[in-house]
Amino acid sequence: MFVSLAVVTVFMSALLLVSAGAKSLRTRHITEQMSTLGVPQGMMAFLIGAQIAGAAGVIAGLWWGPVGIAAAIGLALYFAGAVAFHLRVSGGGPHHGLRRPDRIACCHPLTADSRSGARLDRAG
């Protein structure tokens, strides 16, 4: 079980570091997206640091649990803020993709699959 945890943790940390690297390069695509979302340019260094600290924290959490828990909480807050910025820009109306119950339901493994009506059970 630890091997699975380690593989997923390293993969997620690598994705976070790639994202932080892309933000640090400040490519046109990234800067346009951030300005569309209303993220100030001065906040970019904080966002990059949060991603790097989160990646390092979850890796360190493989050996010392409290650090991993703190990093996971920090990353959850980071991504909650990202969702909030995206919803704020899109208006978050009733036809927004994230607000549709069937989209939320199909993302959670213990809920009904909206396309087939099948329920995913733990006991197969």
Give the separation between CA 28 and CA 31, rounded to whole angstroms: 5
- Mean pLDDT for 35-48 is 90
Give the separation between CA 37 and CA 39, rounded to whole angstroms: 6
| pLDDT of 118 | 47
Collapsed DSSP state (helix, strand, coil) of residue 113: coil
Tally of structural domains, the chain: 2
Confidence category of residue 66, pLDDT binned at 50, 70, 90: very high
Give the separation between CA 65 and CA 58, rounded to whole angstroms: 9
Residue 64 and residue 120 in one domain: no
Residue 68 and residue 123 in one domain: no
Residue 79 and residue 118 in one domain: no
Residue 112, phi then psi, degrees to nearest 5 = -70, 140
Residue 82 and residue 124 in one domain: no
Confidence category of residue 79, pLDDT binned at 50, 70, 90: very high
Residue 71 and residue 20 in one domain: yes
Residue 52 and residue 86 in one domain: yes
Residue 87 and residue 103 in one domain: no
Give 43-90 as a DSSP string: GHHHHHHHHHHHHHHHHHTTTSHHHHHHHHHHHHHHHHHHHHHHHHHH
Residue 83 and residue 124 in one domain: no
Residue 103 and residue 87 in one domain: no
Confidence category of residue 119, pLDDT binned at 50, 70, 90: very low
Residue 103 and residue 61 in one domain: no
Q: Does residue 123 carry a pLDDT above 80?
A: no
Collapsed DSSP state (helix, strand, coil) of residue 9: helix
Residue 70 and residue 101 in one domain: no
Residue 65 and residue 19 in one domain: yes
**Which residue range forms the structural domain that includes residue 67?**
2-91
